[in-house]
Structure 1
């Protein structure tokens, strides 16, 4: 019986297993769990919506109050110059705190007006800014906005 060949093979198997475990330990976070963060629109082109409307080339955006309160519906109104779309989408991300992406569908109210009730989640801060975009389903219309939230 040749025991040295079996022992050597067993040693190579254990060394290979140790290398696989070490590779997984050091590189799994980067390769398996690396989440791409969605890009935020640039700050320079944003308008903070409120009772004073934000005017764009082909649309006007306003909100029923100067700031949105957490967990209280606040109407957003978008009036576009011409439209053949049936809805718009609002996508917002917290600037000061990562609270995920808030999405809202604005429905047509007729006469190229779209409305929806914004109801942002509560956060730890008394005030924060939500930055995002209002866009058409085909992305032809894109309106970068900020929404100020205060308790």
Structure 2
């Protein structure tokens, strides 16, 4: 009886270790990365991706301080755009912002970057008109 309990305990521990390792390996691979050819780093200088031009009204956005994002998207028929952000250096949720149309093809919205414990943070974005998606990135500093 004791041998059966020992073998069962060992099997259970091995099985738990397998699932534990599999869980953490799969979450590690799902971390976002800043691929230079995928993301457009935003600043006051316009950045264009797939005929969509994006810019900020500040070169150094700060957490909890509003920054104005302007987007020129001439090929869209949408009346608004959605921006979803994901933290690169740490998981801080996925803040979502709406940009409203100023005139056909031009959108603007106020983005307030979440506060972070580190001195700087990179936010990777997905900006969508509901049909097409472009990928802005914003680097904040304290």
TM-score range, shorter chain: 0.7 to 0.9
Q: Over aligned residue pairs, what C-alpha RMSD do you find?
A: 2.7
Count the aligned residue pairs: 139
Contact in 2 for aligned 1:50/1:66 (Cα 8 Å): yes
Structure 1 residue 103 corresponds to structure 2 residue 93: no
Q: Look at both structures and tell me which one has the larger radius of gyration over its CA atoms.
A: 1
Stretch moving more, 99-108 or 52-61:
99-108
| TM score, norm. by length of structure 2 | 0.74
- Per-residue CA deviations over 1:90-139 (Å, capped at 9, x if unaligned) read 233334x213344323233332222222111222333333233322323x
Gaps of 5+ in 2: none
TM-score calculated relative to the size of structure 1: 0.71
User: In structure 2, which of residues 66, 83, 89 is the aligned counterpart of residue 73 of structure 1?
Assistant: 66
Residue 17, structure 1, aligned to residue 8, structure 2: yes
Matched, 1:121 2:114: yes
CA contact (8 A) 1:89 1:136 kept: yes
